[in-house]
Amino acid sequence: MAQNEACLTFKTTTRAATIGRHPRRRLPMLDIADCINETCPWSGKPVSADALTLYQGRVVGFCNPGCRDKFELAVGHFEAAAARVTTAQVTTGART
């Protein structure tokens, strides 16, 4: 079992959702029982079963789908920026 899969059990159904008009990746149906937090990292309100996502292989909860989508969008921007920096380092031969 891969490290990111340890201690997580997912239902076999999937959901397709969108951030604005852009399709998000298909995720396994996430279970609030697997959630690593009890309160939304943005608002501090209790997490909701319809506002879960995977982050680094763990189920993270938010108070509503808007907070979840805001988080996923921010993570996407950071990952894209990191990929650009890594690609530039490889291209120029720079070391970290």
Q: Write down the pLDDT at residue 14.
A: 39
Which domain range does residue 39 map to?
3-92
Q: Write down the pLDDT at residue 10.
A: 36
The number of folded domains in the chain is 1
The series of mean pLDDT values per 10 residues for the chain, 96 residues long, is 37 39 61 97 96 95 97 93 77 60
Q: Write down the pLDDT at residue 40.
A: 98
Q: Write down the pLDDT at residue 85.
A: 82
Phi, psi (degrees; rounded to nearest 5) at 92 = -90, -10
Predicted TM-score of the model (pTM): 0.62
